A and B are shown apart, each in its own frame.
Chain A
Amino acid sequence: MSRELRGLGVSAGIAVGPVARLAAPPELPDRDAPVADAEAEAARAAEALEAVAAGLDARAAQADGAAADVLVAQGLMARDPVLGDAVAGLVRDGRDAPHAIDAALHEHRRALEGLGGYMAERAADLDDLRTRAVAHLLGLPMPGIPQPGHPFVLVADDLAPADTATLDPAQVLGIVTERGGPTGHTAILAKQLGIPAITACPDASVLVDGQRLLLDGGTGLLVADPDDALVADAERRARELAARRASSHGPGRTADGHPVRLLVNVGGPGDLEAPGVPGAQGVGLLRTEFLFLERATAPTREEQEALYAEVFSAFSGRTVIVRTLDVGADKPLAYLPQAPEENPALGVRGLRLARRDPELLAEQLDAIAAAARASDADVGVMAPMVATAREAEGFARLARDHGLEKVGVMIEVPSAALCAAEILRHVDFASLGTNDLAQYTLATDRLAGELADLLDPWQPALLRLIARTIEAGVAAGKPIGVCGEAASEPMLALVLAGMGVTSLSMGAASLADVRATLAAHTIDQCRALASTALAAGSAPDARAGCGGRRAGGRRRRLTPCPSSRSTPSRSPRAAAPPWRSASPSAPARWRTCPASSATSCCVPSRARPATSSTRAGRPKRTSRRGCRARRSLAATPRRGPVKGRRWRSTPAC
């Protein structure tokens, strides 16, 4: 008997396979077991730590880059002589081995946590050691990715970075977690690896090992024990999706030729190697934080110029939009001390940093301009966290004084969306950072997993602010792009295109899906979807109205009505906002779409906003979800041109 479950689809794709659950962490008994022979017990504790270390070494050998570094360091912690002595001492004082290890690690954990920041993240590594050692001693299954010997759908309460470091896409067909949100670690990782994934599915707790499970990472729908017809249908859809991805190439355009430029978000030179990048029409968001973070002194102008030049030359003849430094009190720069803030997401970050240190921004603009002059890329520059037209004006003047011709701003603060018309008088373009815009509009910390529904990019308030911004762009005849990960959700990309965006910028992995989906719809269909989405009273209704999952119901799969093809296309620069041109009856006819495999918003957890990352003595963030998400990809302070993770895992705007 098949059973439907629902979660939040965070990585598009369809998978069918047997469930394998991640073992839950073992419970430590309330009391110590009586210890007859303290020496033997101490040896048992030492043996457990050594076994844990050996296991970590084995996993480190399979991993590479930053993931391997974390596992090597964790192995060294398990073999730490000071820890070993402390454990032995506690056993001699009468503790049993599991409790001795727990207590000794707890001491070190406290010490590290007290240091805050990166050190506090290492505390999570100690928790993992403790869990592993206790499981070993109690004879319980070792927590970690199961290895049933055949491909499986991984089901877990939540995934820790150590769990995912060695995740093998050939074995893991899909991922389902009970907790987690659209912006969490699991979502980011799954998207990176191209594994269909669903998070925030509390009902997944009923799933058991070996049970057949069908999941659609686009819609968030799971079916336990699906019948053969459902499986056949899912497999057919998976093949269609694969075929669409494979056949997707060229510039972004709708079925009837309306152009929407498809760009990539780049966190550093490492991202340039990602597949899909060569097919992009440019870079819609070049994050520059990688140049500035985790170093003792500011990068020199020359150093910056060389790195910008590297990116520009890779996109010769194409667009590159550089976002100026976006850091705040939660990611302090060693050379630019910032006092702790109660609310870093609302504090001195982004462009606001230039109020305190105008030199840093001036030098960055100088370096960008110099690199731009020496390149034939179409270089634009934009400022993050602009809240007022006056700030936009000041930034535009400064950038133009430095010789930059194409100047824009991020629209990621509700006030900027509301004043977009005024802002656009001063700049040449704007780019919607939908992740932060959602955070600020819905007053919801981007890392608050339990509030993930509020960060749904389909939230009516968010869609209306986006529409209002685009409307201002259309009226001013200035391009408005979207560089938040909302752009990577194919269905939402159609809605945004229908609203009149001129470009969508996303992680390279999402390009093919978005391009293919766009190519399968006319601009009028997109406008009708935009009308439907904007008319919806809730995020689930908006999604369902556009053919995605319905709240608790079935997806509608209707055939597009051919008659609306006769509706003339309108230019996105027409004076009237395009979605208003759609006929009121249109939406109902357009509920279907091959793009029902939409992906949800996914934000890597650089932990920029609203995480009170701490130094010694400051109060720490209490949300366990936040901590878990943060220690994810940010586990190691990665520096320099480290291939892979670091630059790929910087957050979206």
Chain B
Amino acid sequence: MSERTVSVGSRVGLHARPASLFVQAAARQPVPVTIAKPGGDPVDARSILMVIGLDVRGGDEVVLHADGEGADAALDELVELLATDHDAEVPS
């Protein structure tokens, strides 16, 4: 079982576009991933409704879990995504 703790880089938090990007990335992973606030109940990282329901703000820490083959690589990718400030990007 692999676990990572990461601080959310997007200032708006895990809402809106950052949440969409995260959920889409989680769905692409070969293993199921969960996300939780520290000490909170983990939820399915592929579920945008559950993820935005966590109400994670910018700078908050979240804990990712995954099991099975490829779990570490999956978490590494998601951690990098979460740590990035997607608000800073300028969409077209």
Q: How distant is the Cα of A637 from the Cα of B11 in the complex, in angstroms?
A: 10
Within B21-75, the residues touching A (CB, 8 Å) are 23-24, 43-44, 46-50, 52-53, 55, 57-59
Q: How distant is the Cα of A70 from the Cα of B90 in the complex, in angstroms?
A: 16
- A268-B67 Cα distance, complex, nearest whole Å: 46
Contact assessment for B49 and A636 in the assembled complex, using a CB-CB cutoff below 8 Å = no
In whole angstroms, how far apart are the Cα atoms of A68 and B20 in the complex?
11
- Inter-chain contact A637/B44, CB cutoff 8 Å: no
Q: Is B17 an interface residue (CB 8 A)?
A: yes
| A contact face: mostly helix, strand, loop, or mixed | helix
A564 to B23, CA, bound (A): 69
Residues of chain B lying within 8 A (CB to CB) of residue A77: 48-49
Check A640–B88 contact: CB distance below 8 A: yes
The answer to whether A122 touches B52, judged by C-beta atoms less than 8 angstroms apart, is: yes
Chain A CB within 8 A of B78 CB: no
Assess A295 versus B58: contact at CB under 8 Å? Given A80-B49, A119-B52: yes
The answer to whether A69 touches B20, judged by C-beta atoms less than 8 angstroms apart, is yes
Contacts of B19 in A (CB 8 A): 73
Residues of B near A69 (CB, < 8 A) are 16-17, 20, 91
B16–A73 CB distance below 8 A: yes
Contact partner, A334, options B15, B57, B90, B92, Cβ 8 Å: B57
A295-B11 in contact (CB<8A): yes
Query: Knowing A69-B17, A73-B19, A637-B12 touch, does A82 contact B50 (C-beta < 8 A)?
Result: yes
Q: A81-B47, A82-B49 are in contact. Are A636 and B16 (CB under 8 A)?
A: yes
Is B80 located at the chain interface by the 8 A CB criterion?
A: no
- A76: chain B residues within 8 A (beta carbon): 20, 23-24, 48
Closest to A75 in B: B20
B77 close to chain A: CB less than 8 A: no
Chain B interface: which of A14-22, A39-47, A107-115, A527-535? A107-115
Tell me, yes or no, whether A642 is within 8 Å of chain B by CB.
yes
Query: Does chain B have a CB within 8 A of A5?
Result: no
Q: Is the CB of A118 within 8 A of B15?
A: yes
Contact A296 B92 (CB under 8 A): no
Instruction: Provide the bound-state CA to CA distance between A115 and B49, in Å.
Output: 13
0/1 string, A614-650, CB within 8 A of B gives 1: 0000000000000000000000111111110000000
Residue A363, interface by CB 8 Å: no
Q: Which of B17, B43, B53, B90 contacts A641 (CB 8 A)?
A: B90
Shortest CB-to-CB span from A296 to chain B, Å, is: 4
**CB distance A83 to B11 under 8 Å?**
no
What are the residues of chain A within 8 A of B17 when measuring CB–CB?
69, 72-73, 636
Taken together as a complex, chains A and B put the C-alpha atoms of A83 and B52 apart, in Å, by 13
Tell me the smallest distance from the CB of B47 to a CB of chain A, in Å. 4
Q: Is the CB of B52 within 8 A of A80?
A: no
Tell me how far the C-beta of B55 lies from the nearest C-beta in chain A, rounded to whole angstroms. 5
User: Which residues of chain B are within 8 angstroms of A640 by Cβ–Cβ distance?
Assistant: 11, 87-90
In the bound assembly, the distance between CA atoms of A643 and B89 in angstroms comes to 10
Is residue A64 within 8 Å, beta carbon to beta carbon, of the partner chain?
yes
A250 contacts the other chain (CB 8 A): no
* B20 near A73: Cβ-Cβ < 8 Å: yes
Docked CA distance A426–B49 (Å): 53
Does residue A358 face the partner (Cβ distance < 8 Å to B)? no
- Within the complex, the shortest CB–CB distance from B37 to chain A, in Å, comes to 13
Contact code string A83-127 (vs B, CB < 8 Å = 1, else 0): 100000000000000000000000010011001001100100000
Q: Which of B10, B49, B92 contacts A108 (CB 8 A)?
A: B49
Query: Are A115 and B53 closer than 8 Å at their CB atoms?
Result: yes
Q: How far is the CA of A68 from the CA of B91 in the complex (A)?
A: 10
Task: Give the residues from 473 to 510 in chain A that come closer than 8 angstroms, CB to CB, to chain B.
Answer: none
Given contacts A637-B12, A640-B88, are A296 and B58 in contact (CB under 8 A)?
A: yes
A residues within 8 A CB of B90?
640-643
Distance in angstroms between the alpha carbons of A82 and B10 in the assembled complex: 25
B55 touches A119 (CB 8 A): yes
Do B52 and A112 touch (CB < 8 A)?
yes
- Contact yes or no, A81 B44, CB < 8 A: yes
Given the known inter-chain contacts A334-B57, A640-B90, please indicate yes or no for A82 contacting B47, CB distance below 8 A: yes
| Nearest 6 CB-CB pairings of A with B | A639-B87, A82-B47, A76-B48, A637-B12, A296-B58, A636-B16
Q: Could you list 5 examples of A-B contacts with CB < 8 Å?
A: A69-B91, A80-B49, A82-B50, A118-B16, A638-B16
B interface with A by C-beta (< 8 Å): 10-12, 15-17, 19-20, 23-24, 43-44, 46-50, 52-53, 55, 57-59, 87-92
